[in-house]
Chain A
Amino acid sequence: MAKMHVKLTVNGRAVEALAEPRTLLIHFLREELRLTGPHIGCDTSHCGACTVDLDGKSVKSCTLFVAQANGGSLRTIEGMAAADGSLHPLQEAFREHHGLQCGFCTPGMITRAYRLLQENPDPTEAEIRQGISGNLCRCTGYQNIVKAIRAAAERMSSTKEAAE
Chain B
Amino acid sequence: MIPGSFDYHRPRTLDEAISLMASLGEEARVVAGGHSLIPMMKLRLAAPEHLVDLRDLAELRAIRSEGGTLVVGAMATQREIIASDLLAAECPILRETALQIADPQVRYVGTLGGNVANGDPGNDMPAVMMALGAVYRVKGSPGERDIPARDFYRSSFTTALAPSEILTQVRIPAAPKGQGYAYEKQKRKVGDYATAAAAVVLSMAQGSCTAAAIGLTNVGGTPLFAVAAAQALIGTRIDGTAIVEAVRQARAIAQPAADQRGPADFRTHVAGVMVERAIRRAKERAA
Query: Which residues does chain B contribute within 8 Å of A48, judged by CB atoms?
Result: 103, 105
A58-B104, A64-B109, A134-B104 given as contacts; is B5 within 8 A of A20 (CB)? yes
Within 8 A of B (CB), among A60-80: 60, 63-65, 67-68, 70
Task: Tell me if A106 counts as interface (CB < 8 A to partner B).
Answer: no
Interface size class of A (residues with CB under 8 A): 20 to 34
- Collect the chain A residues with CB atoms within 8 Å of residue B266's CB: none
Are B104 and A131 interface neighbours, CB within 8 A? yes
Given contacts A21-B51, A22-B2, A63-B38, contact A134 B7 (CB under 8 A): no
User: Cβ of A122 < 8 Å from any Cβ of B?
Assistant: no
In the complex, what residues of A have CB within 8 A of residue B3's CB?
22, 24
Interface hits, B20-54 → A, CB 8 Å = 31, 34-35, 38-39, 41-42, 51, 53
CB A131 to nearest CB in B, in angstroms, measures 6
Say yes or no: A68-B34 contact (C-beta < 8 A), given A51-B105, A63-B39: yes
Considering the complex, give the chain A residue whose CB is closest to the CB of B56.
A71
29 A–B contact pairs at CB < 8 A? A1-B6, A1-B7, A20-B5, A22-B2, A22-B4, A22-B6, A24-B42, A44-B39, A44-B42, A45-B35, A45-B105, A45-B106, A45-B191, A57-B79, A57-B108, A57-B109, A58-B104, A59-B105, A59-B108, A60-B105, A63-B34, A63-B39, A64-B109, A65-B8, A68-B31, A68-B53, A112-B105, A133-B104, A134-B104
Judged by a CB distance under 8 angstroms, whether A4 is at the interface is yes
Q: How far is the CB of A135 from chain B (nearest CB, A)?
A: 8
Are A133 and B2 also in contact (CB < 8 A) when A2-B7, A57-B109, A58-B108 are? Answer: no
Task: State whether A133 and B53 are in contact (beta carbons under 8 Å apart), knowing that A43-B1, A63-B34, A63-B38 are contacts in the complex.
Answer: no
Q: A97 interface residue, CB < 8 Å from B? A: no
Q: Is there contact, CB below 8 Å, between A134 and B34?
A: no
Q: Which of A27, A132, A134 is the most central at the interface, judged by chain B CB atoms within 10 Å of its CB?
A: A134
Expressed in whole angstroms, the Cα–Cα distance for A60 and B42 within the complex equals 14
- A24-50 contact mask (Cβ, 8 Å, vs B): 1 or 0: 100100000000000000011110100
Q: Is the beta-carbon distance between A21 and B6 smaller than 8 angstroms?
A: yes
Q: Is B89 an interface residue (CB 8 A)?
A: no
Chain B neighbourhood of A65, CB < 8 A: 8, 34, 38, 51
List residues of chain A with CB within 8 A of the CB of B51: 21, 65, 67
With A46-B191, A68-B55: A1-B5 Cβ-Cβ less than 8 Å? yes
- B174 interface hit (Cβ, 8 Å): no
A67-B191 contact given A22-B6, A51-B105, CB 8 Å threshold = no
- Chain B residues lying within 8 Å of A45, measured Cβ to Cβ, are 35, 39, 105-106, 191
**Complex alpha-carbon distance, A3 and B79, angstroms:** 32
Taking the closest CB of chain A, its distance from the CB of B255, in whole angstroms, is: 27
- Quote the shortest CB–CB distance from B102 to chain A (angstroms): 7
B2 partner residues in chain A, CB cutoff 8 A: 22, 24, 27
List the B side residues contacting A59 at CB < 8 Å.
105, 108-109
Q: Which residues of B contact A60 (CB under 8 A)?
A: 105-106
Tell which of A1, A44, A68 has the most Cβ of chain B within 10 Å: A68
In the complex, which residues of chain A have a beta carbon less than 8 angstroms from the beta carbon of B10? 67, 70
A134–B3 alpha-carbon span in the complex (Å): 23
6 cross-chain pairs, A with B, having the tightest CB-CB distances, nearest first: A134-B103, A21-B8, A1-B5, A57-B108, A67-B8, A134-B105
4 further A-B pairs in the complex, CB-CB below 8 A; given A1-B6, A133-B103: A24-B2, A27-B2, A65-B51, A134-B106
